[in-house]
Structure 1
């Protein structure tokens, strides 16, 4: 099974990607992980990407596409894969489609975890993390027994810097301007399946499995 996973930042893609890959025995491909692997191994592509990353610049589309394509030809992707974080633009999607056609492969489904912005904002801004053990809470959906204190180790709960309202809104704006057009692209190409991401993790995964097995 070959899957692309779409969704706004905070929609729960990371959690669901793991569950999907475990159920269908396919490889989870995160662009961040692919870049880190290439940089760590000092591959030619990794060295090129590192030059941009070290300068705080976005890795160009052409290089990003090349890095992903190089990963897709590895042995562990023959049984299937889930792409998380790629493509980010319609151009990348078109190039991916050309590559898959050249290798006699096609996408089985593009899965969108759909969550309204206001829900994502509430989910992220209300999140709290234990400063010691890393356990996650939410002031509304999963509060600790004692305000601001971890139930497990008794240490202080903190709000991550990137979970403040301004940063979350900025991430959602970037997503809307650059990545959201992919939804229209894949909808037009008749391979988009949408799942409501507002439910609890198990309910969302159950609905995802139902969509994938259809």
Structure 2
């Protein structure tokens, strides 16, 4: 199973990706986790990424595409993967399509989670408090949600037109959401 998990910040993509990875026995590839690891360890990549994330901006496509391409070529993803946080704009869809064609690995599904704006704001404020995330201020959160709505949400139409979209309500019990995702994926 090769899938994307998409949705606005705070919708539970990371949580659901981890559960799906365990269920299907495949790794999750989170561009956010890769960037946070590098930021925490103050690597060259981390410092470059931090110059964007601290302002609520997204890391440039060129840098993100390179990381994803390298990761998708690794041995542990030969039987499948879940991409979390990528693609986030139309040019990244084109880049991902090219990567998958080069690797001979088709995309099976795109899981799209959604939730009410107030629910998302509450979840991210709670996450910021629990995890001490400096990139989860109310201003930065609002900017990220606006960017998602403008740049990433329209990609769902692309995947819907390809017959790959699985739309799921991201509000409610975590286990129930996961059960809904698995049922929808297994019914495909």
The structural deviation recorded for 1:120 is 2.0
Please report the TM-score for the alignment, with normalisation by the length of structure 1.
0.73
Please report the TM-score for the alignment, with normalisation by the length of structure 2.
0.82
Matched, 1:189 2:185: no
The 5 A counterparts of 1:125-144 are 125=125, 127=126
Query: Gapped runs of 5+ residues in structure 1?
Result: 137-158
1:180 to 145, 153, 158: 153
CA contact (8 A) 2:128 2:136 kept: no
Higher Rg of the two aligned structures: 1
The 5 A counterparts of 1:1-214 are 1-35=1-35, 47=44, 49-50=45-46, 52-53=48-49, 55-56=51-52, 58-125=58-125, 127=126, 165-214=138-187
Question: In structure 1, the residue corresponding to 2:87 is in which secondary structure?
Answer: coil
The structural deviation recorded for 1:188 is 2.0
CA contact (8 A) 2:128 2:137 kept: no
CA contact (8 A) 2:28 2:82 kept: yes
Higher share of residues assigned helix: 2
Q: Could you say if the C-alpha distance between residues 33 and 123 of structure 1 is closer, same or farther in structure 2, counting changes exceeding 3 Å?
A: closer
Question: In structure 2, the residue corresponding to 1:14 is in which secondary structure?
Answer: helix
RMSD: 3.1
Aligned residues: 183
Query: Gapped runs of 5+ residues in structure 2?
Result: none
CA distance in 2, matches of 1:76, 1:7: 25
